[in-house]
Amino acid sequence: MKNRIFKILEKATPGNLPAKIFNIFIITLIILNVLAVILGTVKSFSQYTVVFRIFEIFSVIIFTVEYILRLWSCTTDDRFKGAVTGRIKFAVTPLSLIDLMAILPFYLPMIIPIDLRFIRIVRLLRLFRIFKLGRYSDSLKTFSNVLKRKKEELFMSIFIILILLIVASSLMYFVECDAQPKIFSSIPAAMWWGVTTLTTVGYGDIYPITHIGKFIGAIIALLGIGMFALPTGIIGSGFIEEVHKKREETRKCPHCGKDID
């Protein structure tokens, strides 16, 4: 029974009809939950508060049972052998933590006495349920694999962007602090300008007025175009590699590993 449940919850094979039905049900429930959270913030839907609450309780019951069954059946996997240590290893995996975050906002106010403002913030965390789709979406799995494979390159590119942001914000602060002491009051305050300039968003709320400041701003904007293209290129090349890898895997026999003509 434990092995059967684990195969339905974790290892859905193409011929496993119960697993397919379960996946469709959970995906639909997750999408409806996210939609309920969004509509719950609309004042015209306030009359359906009771309906949203009943649906929330129903969803939490389903997600809680799912989480408990996953935790109970995970020991059938060789990676999580052991009644205690295996379940602890399973519980700290990223997808298991997401499953926990999906139900925690419902139970947290019952356990810890907190004020209403914090309750609203906690209830908003129900949107974390959308990340549960990562279990069932091949696209999200592919994206996750790309991030894992390209994490070093992405880290380096983000680090370079961070250095450029600090240098640009520092230069603009020293150039503009006398002309605009309230706007460029410090380097952290100038970092908002740095972010909007490097990303080429340019909200227009903070901008240089001195000639030197405008010149530096133009240079930083041009550099930002190139710098922010780096992570995009890295992720794009990662997607191409992942697609080619999947195509190669589909051409191989799952039994002998040889190429299929």
CATH number, residue 228: 1.10.287.70
Number of domains in the chain: 2
Given phi > 0 = left and psi -120 to 50 = alpha, else beta, which region is 202?
left
Tokens found for residue 253: 């026999």
34 Cβ contact list (under 8 Å, min separation 6): 127, 129, 130
Contact 231, 157 (CB under 8 A): yes
CA 136-140-143 angle, 5° bins: 150
Asked if residue 150 and residue 120 are part of one domain, the reply reads no
**What's the rounded Cα separation, in Å, for the pair 221 and 243?**
34
pLDDT confidence of residue 261: 54
Asked if residue 220 and residue 106 are part of one domain, the reply reads no
pLDDT confidence of residue 137: 66
Asked if residue 219 and residue 125 are part of one domain, the reply reads no
Contact 128, 98 (CB under 8 A): yes
pLDDT confidence of residue 259: 59
What amino acid is encoded at 148 in this protein? K
Give the closest residue to 20 by CA, choosing from 28, 30, 12: 12
- Rounded to two decimals, the pTM is 0.63
154 Cβ contact list (under 8 Å, min separation 6): 147, 231, 234, 235
94: CATH: 1.20.120.350
Asked if residue 20 and residue 131 are part of one domain, the reply reads yes
Domain ends where: 135, 152, 167? 135
Asked if residue 141 and residue 131 are part of one domain, the reply reads no
Asked if residue 94 and residue 149 are part of one domain, the reply reads no
Write the CA distances from 195 to 200, 216, 217, 218, integer angstroms: 8, 14, 12, 14
Alpha helices in 113-210 (DSSP H): 116-124, 138-149, 151-176, 187-198
- The residue assigned the tokens 């990340």 is 131
Q: Which domain holds residue 143?
A: 137-261
Give the closest residue to 103 by CA, choosing from 121, 129, 74, 72: 129
What amino acid is encoded at 45 in this protein? F
Write the CA distances from 239 to 55, 151, 162, 232, integer angstroms: 37, 13, 24, 11
Q: Centre a 10 Å sphere on the Cβ of residue 11 and count the other Cβ atoms it contains.
A: 12
Asked if residue 113 and residue 97 are part of one domain, the reply reads yes
Domain ends where: 110, 135, 160? 135
Residues of the chain with pLDDT under 50: none
Asked if residue 182 and residue 113 are part of one domain, the reply reads no
Asked if residue 121 and residue 147 are part of one domain, the reply reads no
Asked if residue 240 and residue 177 are part of one domain, the reply reads yes
